[in-house]
Structure 1
């Protein structure tokens, strides 16, 4: 398992695992909840990750489902991890719940695939560019809120250079890298940052040029999570698609939804420039900004 364990991911894993174990044991959620001295709606909220169950309640459920010994202890360990606080929670004053969920999942992802059509990916933005993005955003921010948002974005980027970094696969539309956010100097510095980051062994950046004649209406992220090791009884969640909106987000985990976005990302990669031609194109754009 990755060393970057996130309580958000563990809570979702626990919810999915408990649901699958209950269904395998042949109980309805109401029946199982009542057998462990809870009201009928409690377990439904646990199985949708709305409620963090106490490890003792998890132990009782596992006993009911016939799961014991090492497998039970592995699930209970995840239940304990799910009750911890994530580092991002200290940004709760500027971090809405719908995005906190994403930051939590991003923190443990083993592979992150993204397509960006409007701006540089947040994980690869430099500080000046990130500040300009927030300043130009449709929702006005106070100065202190803006600086907290920039600080949060910079903090998120540490996953790419820390222990056990995720593989990061980026396809970015040419329109995004040409949009002069913050002015020519800010954009040039950001282009140089992208060139530098793209040389990391775990980061791959591909530019989708205008000449490809292809695009995709909307940015998205696909998150892959590391598998659970034995003796955990169920692999649970392995992949999630995130689609952000102005005031919320979509978290898609149905197989058909994941397959559609995975196919879209593969098609975008296929027609985008390769990593080396992408760096050459980005470097040429920095020269254009000097003129």
Structure 2
């Protein structure tokens, strides 16, 4: 089989497959336990598939699709996704420094169609310079060996590849002013980081806004909203697919319920309304960079 394109993530494919099989079973009016029994498995096996905990064999997927009355081109499209879900992601070569909870995020980030990001503490990883990223990892609450720092920096730089190419995602970022004034790595590193932000902000499909201290409000905690592309026909699933990611020191939250996602989408819109325009953001960043140079 040919290698998967860089923007085709097995993590996203596994998640899409789980959603599709769950929806198809619901439409067929078959319970989870009954469906599992009829393909010679137990209910816990199908439950783990429908929650994306395990990657089913394509032959098992074909059996489920036959049970649900899905055949022809639609069935083949789903089975192709099942095969793709079993491949290795590019990020797995960093497994020595990449915890499972963050590997899931990196896998999903690799195939998003849009990202909406609010950062209140520091510049987001997708926008960091190497020196800034290195300073972030060296100053992490949990100390790292220098070789671990360099591996983490390499991973972070490789993640940024999604911002290049014709299929790059739409990117909307709101940075709290504190995130660009916090002296990560010292004045020279921060100034270089800010200059790169200014340059990046002129790219197409990217909207950068600064939430100034003068706005008088903010949001208690950074978050990222990920939107995933629709699968092309004849794939049977046309459902809207998005989630919210929030990381912590030792783990992450993945919010998928429509009400949860809607609440964060509303919060992001409010932050955009309070933040400076892209042009005013660039002017303010230039002024901060000049202060640092002085």
TM-score (norm 1): 0.98
Q: Distance in 2 between matches of 1:174 and 1:95?
A: 29
**What are the residue-to-residue correspondences of 1:63-74 with 2, within 5 Å?**
63-74=66-77
Is the 8 Å Cα contact of residues 240 and 253 (structure 1) preserved in structure 2? yes
Answering whether residue 269 of structure 2 is matched by residue 266 of structure 1, we say yes
Q: Distance in 2 between matches of 1:212 and 1:159?
A: 32
Q: Distance in 1 between matches of 2:212 and 2:285?
A: 11
Q: Which runs of 5+ in 1 are unaligned?
A: none
**What are the residue-to-residue correspondences of 1:243-254 with 2, within 5 Å?**
243-254=246-257
Answering whether residue 198 of structure 2 is matched by residue 195 of structure 1, we say yes
Is the 8 Å Cα contact of residues 3 and 164 (structure 1) preserved in structure 2? no
C-alpha displacement at 1:236, in angstroms? 4.2
Q: Distance in 1 between matches of 2:54 and 2:227?
A: 23
Answering whether residue 172 of structure 2 is matched by residue 173 of structure 1, we say no
2:287 aligned partner: 284
Answering whether residue 225 of structure 2 is matched by residue 222 of structure 1, we say yes
**What are the residue-to-residue correspondences of 1:153-172 with 2, within 5 Å?**
153-172=156-175
1:127 aligned partner: 130
Answering whether residue 104 of structure 2 is matched by residue 105 of structure 1, we say no
Q: Distance in 2 between matches of 1:41 and 1:111?
A: 33
Which consecutive aligned stretches of 4+ in structure 1 deviate over 3 angstroms post-superposition?
none
Answering whether residue 51 of structure 2 is matched by residue 44 of structure 1, we say no
Q: Distance in 2 between matches of 1:191 and 1:35?
A: 59
CA-based RMSD of the aligned residues comes to 1.1
Matched positions, count:
290
C-alpha displacement at 1:235, in angstroms? 2.2
Q: Which runs of 5+ in 2 are unaligned?
A: none
2:235 aligned partner: 232
Answering whether residue 16 of structure 2 is matched by residue 13 of structure 1, we say yes
1:81 aligned partner: 84
2:258 aligned partner: 255
TM-score (norm 2): 0.97
C-alpha displacement at 1:4, in angstroms? 1.4
2:94 aligned partner: 91
